[in-house]
Amino acid sequence: MHVGVAKKSRARQDWPWRWLKAAFLVSLVVAGGFLSWSCLRNEDGVTEVLARRGDSLRDTFIEVPCSEDYDSHKRFEGCTPRKCGRGVTDAVITREEAERIRRIAERGLSLGGSDGGASILDLHSGALSLGKHFVNLYRYFGDKIQDIFTEEDFALYRDVRQRIQQRIAQAFGISAASLYLTKPTFFSRINSTGAKTTHDEYWHPHVDKVTYGSFDYTSLLYLSDYTEDFGGGRFVFMDAGSNKTIEPRAGRVSFFTSGSENLHRVEKVQWGTRYAVTISFTCNPDHGIGDPVLK
């Protein structure tokens, strides 16, 4: 009898300890989960998503202070950025238009292709990736090019370029007529195959105005969908305190001033194929180029 009572009271005393032990284990699991989550988060280096693939955005615009990059170039008042920033819109180009543009890219790029994972086609200069080099599409294929591209293709490209130009002008409070298309302006096709030359290394952080002095405003039109058509391949603005991503979506346009205020990179594509067009603008008429024409 006595023994039984002693046992019972000990069991009762054990109760808070067991509870504490359980609470301790739970907090360990929570802390572990949090640690691995923050490690994962650091690993892909992303702290904020500016534009999700599934969202349809009208007019997102974020102003950022301009860098001094523009000072080392000739200024064009009413055009050279005084207001800098970045915008995303799904309301300028429709998904159907993006699909049509993508088919132009597919047709053109099917004629060539880099040995590495990143191929480009520049309709202006005719530059097309082929193996470890570039060829001139117009020279290489001559009259046959008329079987590959049509006048309608070029008209659509022109129309899309114009609407993006207007959207940029509106966002930055400048006149669309003060902007000139500049080079390079090109289609890109990226898959997960490793780089064979430095031309294939698209993932390094860079500043467009440093890479191409003539750029003042850069735009990207996405022609395929993140997580549907490819994995990886998100666009990332790299700010001092955080990385901000744009998830590609067919018909989505992202645009930004080209200076160091918009240091960025593209993540490596992990699977599938990512298509996009880079369309760039300058304020300097001497660096302007005309729309591509069927030669």
Ligand X SMILES: *[C@@H]1O[C@H](CO)[C@@H](O)[C@H](O)[C@H]1NC(C)=O
Is there binding between residue 231 and ligand X (CB under 6 A)?
A: no
User: What's the gap between Cα 24 and its chain centre?
Assistant: 44
Neighbours of 3 (CB within 10 A): 7
24-44: burial string, b at 16+ Cβ within 10 Å, e else: eeeeeeeeeeeeeeeeeeeee
* CB closer to ligand X, 225 vs 267: 267
Alpha helices in the chain (DSSP H): 2-44, 95-109, 137-141, 151-172, 208-211
235-273: burial string, b at 16+ Cβ within 10 Å, e else: bbbeeeeebbbbbbbbbbbbbbbbbbbbbbbbbbbeebb
Is there binding between residue 117 and ligand X (CB under 6 A)?
A: yes
What's the CA gap between 233 and 192, in Å, rounded?
Answer: 10
Asked whether 248 and 53 are in contact (CB, 8 A), the reply is: yes
* CB closer to ligand X, 192 vs 284: 192
Q: Which of 47, 56, 166, 270 binds ligand X (CB under 6 A)?
A: 47
Is there binding between residue 16 and ligand X (CB under 6 A)?
A: no
Q: Which of 65, 173, 241, 290 binds ligand X (CB under 6 A)?
A: 241
What's the CA gap between 100 and 157, in Å, rounded?
Answer: 10
Is there binding between residue 238 and ligand X (CB under 6 A)?
A: yes
Q: Which of 119, 165, 257, 262 binds ligand X (CB under 6 A)?
A: 119
Q: How far is the CB of 113 from ligand X (least distance, A)?
A: 3
Q: How far is the CB of 117 from ligand X (least distance, A)?
A: 6
Site string for ligand X, 154-193 (x = CB under 6 A): -------------------------------------xxx
Site string for ligand X, 56-85 (x = CB under 6 A): ------------------------------
Binding site for ligand X (CB under 6 A): 45, 47, 113-114, 117, 119, 191-193, 238, 241-243
